[in-house]
Amino acid sequence: MDSSIHGVVNYPDAWKQHYVEQGFQDIDPTLAAAATNTGVVDWQRLKPAEGFQKVFRDAAEFGICSTGLTIPVRGAYGDSGAFSVVRNCSDAEWNRQRPEIIKGLQIHAANFHDRIMRQGRSMFFMRQPNLSAREKEVLQWVAAGKSQPDIGIILSISVRTVEVHLRSAREKLGALTTSQAVARAIGMEIIYPL
Amino acid sequence: MILVVDAINKHLHLEVLDEMFQLRARVFGDRLGWDVKISDGREIDEFDRLNPAYVIGLDDNYEVVACVRALQTTGPHMLADVFSDILQGEPPLRSATLWESTRFCVDTDRLTMSGRGPGSVSRATCELMIGSLEYARESGIEDIITVIDPVMNRVLKRSDNAPCDYIGATVQMGKTKALAALLDCSEERIARVRAFADITGDVFVNEEEFVNARALRKPKQTSCNILAGEVVKYLTEQIDDATNVEELDAALALTQHMLGSDLHETKSIARGA
């Protein structure tokens, strides 16, 4: 495990430059404070934090607002990360949209984190996903064309449990969809093609 | 009422956290006899150092009466690292939308065992379950895996909050058995528990109001002293102003009634008069 830090951002170049020049990475609470949390951090909560006003007063001049959130991500090997999104909209719209997009953002945050982690040489072993017997079994039945309710009946588990195993298997395989997970699992010889 | 304490606001709630660790020591150490490390009357383990989210139940006096801890399953958590026997050698489920909940407990010493009304164990349990499910949903969490003992399993079933399934096996853990249960964080489940416990409104405490209310609890003692001072002044005046024996007796009786056991002081006041 190395102690390197990776950052990927798609903010405007002018803001990135200003951000680094000012050394905002050292005081920005959306990085330091939010990354250590367990739950999602809505930036509203960080307003009293030191550094918030300083960073976001400048950010406003670059057209970046403070309506955003940070999703902390923890990996199995002591690695951690944070995925932040910001949206220029009214508070009302933000509060309406947030519950709709939050699940998707969690999945993408974890997926994004894993991709970055897998690039490092020291994390090479992470490329071998550690699926449980149950997760493989569920994927194998998906590959055999069974629906989730069918698989629940076959394995005598609830449909919800099938879904939880499938979701876990997808994420371990770094796949965003079940089809992609099945393709990868066959490619890695975790399950058989049928 | 429910308060969520995490990495962002823990500096505001150090005392609450301390009360929570003491509650955990009383429940898991003393009452249930789990194999937990207790030092200085507080139960704290290595997962508490990972900034978990604590969902904490409070009574009307803003004191801690229940708590539970949430950790991400993508990172280190108890089922993967401590309770791995339950998984029978299989790797754990890992998903960004699956949280692990552990150390669920309520203060059975401070709450009543009977009924489902306010101040009862059942009410505090249900409120905590609602709080943790709703808080998890807010973070986009779809399911919770929880390590529990058979007693808690029965509590869940009785509260119309039965697990949708179990993962791995039930294994012996010290004096008790442990198992891993799956609970979906669906609106339907929350509605069922709410209906069972007859809880309708927002269960979360307003953080600002809470901080202010907790801060006021100690000065309450001071305001009581001021009040007592006023009472003594009033009583002394009554005794001073007494013009005959009846009035003096009445004033002394009132003094004795108001100050109770401080009769000695009353007499010295009377003597002064």
pLDDT at B261: 43
Residues of A with CB below 8 A from B84's CB?
A: none
Q: Return the number of other C-beta atoms located less than 10 Å from residue B115's C-beta.
A: 11
Shortest Cα distance, chain A CAs vs residue B100, angstroms: 11
Q: Which of A110, A157, A158 sits opposite B96 (nearest CB)?
A: A110
Which positions ≥6 away from B200 have C-beta within 8 Å?
A: B194
Q: Torsion over CA of B78, B80, B83 and B89, rounded to 10 degrees?
A: 180
Shortest Cα distance, chain A CAs vs residue B33, angstroms: 28
Q: Return the number of other C-beta atoms located less than 10 Å from residue B174's C-beta.
A: 12
pLDDT at A153: 98
8 Å CB contact of A76 and B80? yes
Residue whose pair of structure tokens reads 């309708």 in the numeric block: B200
- Please give the DSSP secondary-structure letter assigned to residue B87: G
Provide the β-strand partners of residue B177: B172
Q: Is CATH 3.65.10.10 the right assignment for the domain spanning B2-215?
A: no
Q: Is CATH 1.10.10.10 the right assignment for the domain spanning A128-187?
A: yes
- pLDDT beneath 70: ranges in chain B: 218-229, 257-273
Whether B176 has its CB under 8 Å from any CB of chain A: the answer is no
8 Å CB contact of A107 and B96? yes
Q: Is CATH 3.30.450.80 the right assignment for the domain spanning A13-122?
A: yes
Residue whose pair of structure tokens reads 């809880």 in the numeric block: B199
Q: Residues, chain B, total?
A: 273
8 Å CB contact of A78 and B76? yes
| Residue B107 CA to its chain's centroid (Å) | 7
pLDDT at A127: 64
pLDDT at B136: 97
Residue whose pair of structure tokens reads 């950052």 in the numeric block: A7
Report the distance separating Cα A139 and Cα A152, nearest Å: 12
- pLDDT beneath 70: ranges in chain A: 1-2, 120-127
Sorted by where each begins, the domain ranges of chain B are: 2-215, 223-270
Report the distance separating Cα A131 and Cα A133, nearest Å: 7
Shortest Cα distance, chain A CAs vs residue B38, angstroms: 24
Give the ipTM. 0.89
Residues of A with CB below 8 A from B143's CB?
A: 160, 164
Percentage above 70 pLDDT, chain A: 95
Report the distance separating Cα B82 and Cα B46, nearest Å: 10
8 Å CB contact of A39 and B4? yes
pLDDT at B234: 77
Whether B9 has its CB under 8 Å from any CB of chain A: the answer is yes
**At residue B76, what are phi and psi to the nearest 5 degrees?**
-60, 135
Residues of A with CB below 8 A from B211's CB?
A: none
Whether A165 has its CB under 8 Å from any CB of chain B: the answer is yes
Please provide the DSSP assignment of B10-64 as one string.
GGG-HHHHHHHHHHHIIIIIIIS--S--EETTEE--GGGGG-PEEEEEE-TTS-E
8 Å CB contact of B139 and A40? yes
pLDDT at B70: 98
Q: What is the pTM of this model?
A: 0.84
